[in-house]
Structures are given as structure tokens and as C-alpha cells.
Structure 1
Amino acid sequence: MLTQWCRALCLLLGLWACSGWAWAAACSAQGLAWLRLTDQAYWLPGEAGDADATNRGRVSALMAVQVPGDGRVWLLGSGPSPTLGQALACSLTQQTGWQVSDIVNPWARPELVLGNRAWPRAALWAHEAVAAAMQQQCAHCEERLKVRMGAAAQDLGADTVVTVPGAPGLAGGLVSGDQGELGPWVWWRLKRTPEQPVLVWRLKRAAVWSAPGLLWADGPPDLRDADLRTLQASLKQLGSLSRHDGATVVWLPEQGPAQGLALLAQSADYLEALAQAIRARQAGGGLETDAPARWPALPAGWGEHPRHALNWQRAWRQIEEE
């Protein structure tokens, strides 16, 4: 009898060990490595380029913060799909021991919000303007994301309806206004277009800023679905908001590595030089189809970056309409 009981116990322990190993393998297979910013903050940079089958849509940075005292863990962005969201939850727990309690959607980008369903017990938060934009735009954006992801589109599941914060029965809620506090952050509402809000976030305990939708560190800013003048105004406002942090500021961009003080000025200078070059080309009778201009102060590699050519086309049309 004792022998049979021991065998049963060993079988159960073996199954548990195998299950734990499989869960760990599933996490490590994704190659998700959270970077430590502070004792209470970790960051996962967004991969360069557009969403595709290889990166499975993980092209937007995420930030996880544990609030000292109450132990709640806040996640800024939820990933591009429920499948990736589960891998994100697993990898974060493996590396930190944290369990996410609250998720914030910083702007209506599918790569940042379609993972909401991976955390059914977490409270969901967003600005009311971001939630409205998600309701209006995400259905169309999901279809575009499916096309870009190709074979990996299965990660989105059969039901791709995004879970929007503030819906009846959901924990969490909506914030409003132009600035405020939420969890471990102070936030401000800025814009990519007159109709497209995006929130920037500063840790209360450190000069660490997350600026999704506004800053990129792997190349020039992304003007896709954005308005040049609005984006310029938002970067100027961001400079005013962060000036008290001075040289201690750390910028967490949409894509690329964390950067210091120079990134914001570099991005603003690029947009201004881009506008000036387009106006000069248009005044000289140039065509939109001509090769995009380059200038001496253009950062190394930005002229060859795919976003520069796309930015040139989009800014050309907007300036032409003026």
C-alpha cells in the first residue's frame, strides 16, 4: 500500500515538474528579457520595424512597475495579442516574481492593447479619450495588424474584439483631463493628431519617462497616422514638462533602447528640418516622387531608415495642403 502511494506521489511530482518545465520553456522560447530600470521598475523594449510573423507584433515597448507598500504591479501596455500577453505575464513572473494587477492602455495602438484579454483578473485603465479612440479605430487596426502578422495572426484568436477599459463590469476605469496621477506614474495627455490622444508617463520616484507614440530611438519619429504640426507641438510640450529633470531624464521610446536627454531634441530637430526641406523642395518645383532630401545634421542611419521615406511622403502632402 505504501509503495503504491509513493509511486502515485512520484507520478504527481513528475507531472508537476514537467508542467513547470513546459511553462518555463514557453516563456524562454519567446526570448522576452525584461530590463531592470529601478528596484520597482522593469522595461521591455519594442523590437524594430513593423509587426510581422517573426516578431509576432511585439514592436511597442512595455513597462512594469511595482508600487512600494501595497504590492500592486502596473503594466503600461499589454502587448499585441492574447498569446503574447500570456508569454509576457509568464516571463515577468519568472524574472521578478510579480503578478500583474493593473494594466494601462497609453494610446490606441493595437500592438499595445490587444493583449488585454491575457489578464482577465487585472484592472484595466485608460484615458477616456484613448478609450473612445480604441472603440472607433481598433476594429480597423486589428485587420491591418492581422495582414502584417501573416502566419502569426493566429495569436489574435478567433475573437479579435479589443477589451476596452471602462466597459461595464470591468475592474479599473477611466481617467480624464490633461494631467493626473495613476498608480506609480504622473501622466499628461498629448496628441499625435488633433483627434489622436497619447499619454506620456513619468515615474513618481525617478526621472524615467515613457513616451509611446512620440519618441523612437531606432530611427526617426514615425509620422504614420500622425499630423506633423501636432507632433511637433507635442514634442515641444514634452520638453517643457521634462525640463526640471534636466540631464537626469531617461526616455523610454516606442522602439529602440532607452535614451538620455538628447533624444527629445534630436527628434524635434528632425521634424523641423524635414518640414524646411520639403518647403524648399516644393518652392523649387520638386515632385513628391523625388528622392527624400538629406541634410548635414541628419543623425547617422536616419536617412536610410524606411521611416524617413514614409515621413517625407506624409509630411509632403500635409505641407502641400497648407
Structure 2
Amino acid sequence: MLTQWRGGVSLLLALAAGGPGWAASSCPALPVVWQRLAPEVMWLPGEAGDATAANRGRVSGVLAVQVPADGRVWLLGSGPSPTLGRAMDCALVQQTAWQVSDVVNPWARPELVLGNRAWPQAALWAHEAVAVAMQQQCAHCEERLKARMGDAAQDLGADTVVTVPGAAGLAGGLVAGDQGALGPWVWWRLKRTPTQPVLVWRLKRQPLWSAPGLLWSDGPPDLRDATLATLLASLEQLGELARHDGSAVTWLPEQGPAQGPALLAQTRDYLAALAGAVRARQAAGGLETDPAARWPGLPDAWAQHPRHALNWQRAWRQAEDE
């Protein structure tokens, strides 16, 4: 199901005019280099760690796909701020000469959607449940992001920068339902919590899967604002969806570089083992403040990652509430 409004005339005029027409001297002074994954696919990995002044909040991966048949260029994600979004756009133009026509917001993470205003000429898309979550959460999340970014908070500007897809007068629209197609992708709606939707995306022409909010490759998954049982169930569902692609799968995670098919199983096994270790420690009379458990097969890099300790605490509290 698709609800849409297209600002066709303004969009076509903007594209005919060549978009922003970035010159090297006009690019924002921010280091952005896109990686080419395929002839018409560019990828900007999310940097490791939390948003800081040093990384300017660029901790969520963004995907750009060109569709030569209709001349459109689609972005999955828009970055953490209009300032960084403009740097991303400038780098993309310089590396490929592509002009972005459509921007998709895959879930309501500020680091992935607050750059929307960098592409005023583009059509803006989201799932209707994601748009609702953005309306409810993004203003507060923007303030938290500003606090984490320190001196780089100026990238977000003084006023709110939340532009929610589906608003009156915006080109683009909202998709609905549990699965569908949009631009170069097919998509499915999964969840991080019973009320927090997140969409996964498979490129129609090749087994390139984008799983923001579900997979991380720079360390263990992030359980902040997530329910372990719900996230684990979504990963099981994702495994079934991708099963027919087998060993040809490439995963594009929230943070870190692209990975092969093993990333999904590693993430799923981690969450299942985490849940089991928490229950065992609680049954033995342990405390939430005890060091996070390690178990056979847990990579040292994941065990030592700050997210593992945070995941342990969150899983502990959720187990107590069961």
C-alpha cells in the first residue's frame, strides 16, 4: 500500500538545473568518502562508537543507489544533520555526478534522519509507523544528540531540524503494511520493541541487504531503546527472509563495514547467549552490577566493547520484569 504526493514540477526543475552543482571549493570542510559497492551502489559506513564532536554524529551507514532506467538516485538515510548531509551530497556529486532525487528514512534514529533538510529538492519517504515515531521522538532525540556532539552541535542549527516524511507540501509520501517495494528496494517491517518499527531493505537487482537498527559490525548490537526478545525475534524473521539468498548475502549494518552472511548468525547467537547468561547469573544470585558475562565463542572484541556491558544491564532489567 502506498500513499504519496509528488511535487513533480519542482523536483524536475531542480534536477534539470543540475541540483546543487557542488564545486570543490564550495564543499563543506568535512571528510566524507563514499565506497562503491557495485556499479550503481555507493555506501557510507557509520563510524564506530557514539556520536561525538569528532565524528560529527556520523555513526549510521547511508546507502545511495542509482536507477539508470528513470534517472533517479535514492538515499537510504540522510545522516545526523543538515551540515553533514550537505557534505555527503557534495562528496557524492564529486565522486559520481549523481543528483539525489529521493531520500528514505528507514527508522527513527536521529543520526539517520536529521539530515533530511540537506536535500530540499528530493522526495522524502518513510513507513507510516516510522513517521509517527519520528513525530513523537525526534525533537527529544535531537536535543540528546546535540548534547553528545558538543561543539559540533552547531551542525544541527539553533531551531529544530526534524523534517518528517508525509507532511503536507512535501514531495514523496508514506508506505504502509508489513512489506512492499519502494524505488530500487523491496522492504519488510520488523521491530526493535513491540512499538518501535524498523525496516529492512533488499536491493531488487542483487542480494544486498540493509538492516539499520538490527545489525552492527563494529561490535555487538545496540540494545539501547530495544527489547531483547523482540530484537531476537526480528533477527529470526530476517534470517528466513534472506534464506533464499544463501551465501550471496551482503549485510549493510547500522555501524561498521559491510559484511557477509555470517553477521546475522553471529548477532542472533550473541543475543540468545546474552539472554541465557543473564538468566543463569540471576538464578545463581548474582547482581546487575556484576561484570558482564563472557561465554565460549564470544569474540574478544565484542566482549570488550562498551555496548556489551550496556547490553548486559539492559537485558538484566528486562529479565527482572518478565
Q: Shared topology, TM-score over 0.5? A: yes
Deviation at 1:299, TM superposition (A): 1.6
* CA distance in 1: counterparts of 2:67 and 2:159, whole angstroms: 33
* CA distance in 2: counterparts of 1:277 and 1:20, whole angstroms: 54
* CA distance in 2: counterparts of 1:300 and 1:40, whole angstroms: 36
* CA distance in 1: counterparts of 2:31 and 2:244, whole angstroms: 37
2:23 alignment partner in structure 1: 20
Deviation at 1:300, TM superposition (A): 2.8
* CA distance in 2: counterparts of 1:114 and 1:90, whole angstroms: 17
SS of 2:142's partner is helix
1:240 equivalenced with 2:248 (yes/no): no
Look up the equivalent residue of 2:90 and give its one-letter code.
C
**Structure 1 gaps, min length 5:** 1-18
Relative contact order, higher structure (CA 8 A, sep 6+): 2
1:252 alignment partner in structure 2: 252
* CA distance in 2: counterparts of 1:55 and 1:131, whole angstroms: 26
Look up the equivalent residue of 1:280 and give its one-letter code.
A
Contact 2:117 2:161 in 1 (8 A): no
* CA distance in 1: counterparts of 2:258 and 2:84, whole angstroms: 22
Look up the equivalent residue of 1:148 and give its one-letter code.
R
Provide, for residues 7-60 of structure 1, a one-character-per-residue CA deviation record: whole Å limited to 9, x for no partner.
xxxxxxxxxxxx934225x3xx42211111111111000000000100000000
2:218 alignment partner in structure 1: 218
- Aligned length in residues: 301
2:277 alignment partner in structure 1: 277
Provide, for residues 169-201 of structure 1, a one-character-per-residue CA deviation record: whole Å limited to 9, x for no partner.
000000000000000000000000001000000
Provide, for residues 122-161 of structure 1, a one-character-per-residue CA deviation record: whole Å limited to 9, x for no partner.
0000000000000000011001001000000000011224
Contact 2:105 2:113 in 1 (8 A): yes
SS of 2:301's partner is coil
Look up the equivalent residue of 1:229 and give its one-letter code.
A
* CA distance in 1: counterparts of 2:186 and 2:38, whole angstroms: 17
**Structure 2 gaps, min length 5:** 1-21
Alignment of 1:1-322 (within 5 A): 20-24=23-27, 26=28, 29-322=29-322
With the length of structure 2 as denominator, give the TM-score of the two structures.
0.92
Contact 2:85 2:118 in 1 (8 A): yes
Look up the equivalent residue of 1:299 and give its one-letter code.
P
Cα RMSD of the aligned pairs, angstroms, is 0.9
Q: What stretches of structure 1 move > 6 A for 4+ residues in a row?
A: none
- The percent identity for this pair of structures is 78
* CA distance in 2: counterparts of 1:47 and 1:161, whole angstroms: 22
* CA distance in 1: counterparts of 2:77 and 2:169, whole angstroms: 21
Computing the radius of gyration from Cα coordinates, the structure with the larger value is: 1
* CA distance in 1: counterparts of 2:32 and 2:120, whole angstroms: 21
Deviation at 1:71, TM superposition (A): 0.9
Look up the equivalent residue of 1:202 and give its one-letter code.
R
